[in-house]
Structure 1
Amino acid sequence: MAEETGPTGQATGEAGAASGRLEAVMAAVKATGGRGPAPVEKWNPPDCGDMDMRIAADGTWFYMGTPIGRPALVRLFASVLTREGTRYVLKTPVEKIGITVDDAPFQAVEMAVDDADGQPVLVFRTNMDDLVRCGPGHDLRFAPGGEPGELTPYVHVRHGLEARLTRAVFLDLVERGEVREVEGTAMFGVASGRAFYAMMPAAQLEGSL
């Protein structure tokens, strides 16, 4: 049989190569254990370039433009995700491969308050079921939103990776807000443990958020 050539054959070959690469990455990730975040900071593998994998702003993972519909597989990839500068990579002991992240790689989908020690601490659950105790090392930050006065809230999860708070969680957070003086200015923000995270000057609060 003659070897397939031309655009169709090229597309078939590229799809097969991409599928093979994904399977190789999956095998490497599974070899790390795949239960909870992997110790990516201990590994220094060669850089194998980038692959067509993307995390959309709503937290959906895509491969070659198609949503990855298996939650267990998404969690597997998330367990080896890390950030190096502005680049997001899947990192295993044998290779690291860059992927695209539209906004933040995770979503904070639930918030609870742990006040067992007398200092209420905010605890966020991500869409990957990570539990993040807000405080030093797991700080909140508030970036300017798309409209004047709007804020986009994030919490640091690990390795430079953040979770964007969903609108519902952000509204819960705002309900816990209070005004404190920060460097001589009355600021509206939220406390977690001994930390206070300022959102905006209290004078700008009305009509915002």
Structure 2
Amino acid sequence: MVNQTNSNNATNNTAKNDDKNIMSIAQYLKSAQSGHKRSIPPMAQWQPKHCGKMDLKVLANGEWWHEGQLIKRQSLLDLFSSVLWKEEGRFYLRTPVEQIEIEVEDEPLFVNQVDSTVIADKKYIQFTTTNADLIIVDAEHSIFMREFAGELRPYVHVRFGINALIQRSAFFHLIEMGELVENKQGDTILSLQSGDFHLQLGT
């Protein structure tokens, strides 16, 4: 017969240990970023050592899971997303001294808002991610289509080789901001203008 009280205590202790572990990581990252005024630290200047892999996974639907538990604290998600690094096709959390590999199903960032903004009298497309990143669409931060799990999905390049998935509602708004035209092959193309940057997307 299983002792239910002991079983419950073991489960509670495991949950507490998991929570303590991820909070320790968060505290370490906060300490590593102290003194940086920008939300995204100068990671390209760091030379950390590789410290293996941790059980942290970003699903294609935007959920972050750590040791089998869904991370719900937005402050933690914002913190982790600010130190994302991509190298040779792999994703990491990067600090000045450590680089820890994590698993990402598709892309770790997600656009949930699209707006237009005026800079120096020119109108630009501006994206906002679920972690409050602001992305101005230009030649270096272009929109593109890519297939994932048999579905053609829209993305925008953000930083360090990392892209953000443009979520469905934001993409519908983006379509409204552009112009749907037909090319010579009879395919429907979405034509967009952001500042002096012009692009066309197959839809």
Tell me the TM-score normalised to structure 1 length. 0.77
Seq. identity, %: 31
Name structure 1 gaps, 5 residues minimum: 1-10, 201-208
Aligned position for 1:66: 69
Name structure 2 gaps, 5 residues minimum: 1-10
Q: 1:190 to 1:97 in 2, by over 3 A?
A: same
Aligned position for 1:102: 105
Aligned position for 2:3: none
**Does residue 155 of structure 1 match 2:160?**
no
Aligned position for 1:164: 165
1:25-64 paired onto structure 2 within 5 Å: 25-31=25-31, 32-33=33-34, 36-64=39-67
Q: Distance in 1 between matches of 2:120 and 2:188?
A: 28
Q: Residue 169 of structure 1 aligns to which amino acid in structure 2? A: A
Deviation at 1:24, TM superposition (A): 4.5
Aligned position for 1:7: none
Q: 1:117 to 1:19 in 2, by over 3 A?
A: closer
The range that moved more, 120-129 or 32-41, is 32-41
The range that moved more, 134-143 or 120-129, is 134-143
Q: 1:93 to 1:124 in 2, by over 3 A?
A: same
Aligned position for 2:8: none
Q: For the Cα contact (< 8 Å) 2:106–2:148, is it kept in 1?
A: no
Q: For the Cα contact (< 8 Å) 2:56–2:66, is it kept in 1?
A: yes
Q: Distance in 2 between matches of 1:152 and 1:192?
A: 20
Q: Give the one of 117, 123, 126 matched to 1:123.
A: 126
Q: 1:75 to 1:187 in 2, by over 3 A?
A: closer
Q: Distance in 1 between matches of 2:72 and 2:189?
A: 43
**Does residue 135 of structure 1 match 2:138?**
yes
Q: Residue 172 of structure 2 aligns to which amino acid in structure 1? A: L
Please give the root-mean-square deviation of Cα atoms over the aligned residues, in Å.
Answer: 3.0
Aligned position for 2:197: 195
Q: For the Cα contact (< 8 Å) 2:126–2:135, is it kept in 1?
A: yes
Q: Distance in 2 between matches of 1:54 and 1:186?
A: 36
Q: For the Cα contact (< 8 Å) 1:49–1:97, is it kept in 2?
A: yes
Q: Distance in 2 between matches of 1:113 and 1:144?
A: 27
Aligned position for 2:174: 173
Q: Distance in 2 between matches of 1:144 and 1:78?
A: 23
Q: 1:146 to 1:79 in 2, by over 3 A?
A: closer
Q: Distance in 1 between matches of 2:76 and 2:193?
A: 35
Deviation at 1:176, TM superposition (A): 2.5
Deviation at 1:153, TM superposition (A): 0.7
Q: Residue 134 of structure 1 aligns to which amino acid in structure 2? A: V
Q: 1:16 to 1:112 in 2, by over 3 A?
A: closer
Q: How many residue pairs get matched?
A: 187
**Does residue 114 of structure 1 match 2:114?**
no
Q: For the Cα contact (< 8 Å) 2:56–2:67, is it kept in 1?
A: yes
Q: Distance in 1 between matches of 2:142 and 2:43?
A: 21
Q: 1:97 to 1:20 in 2, by over 3 A?
A: farther
Q: Distance in 2 between matches of 1:15 and 1:45?
A: 30
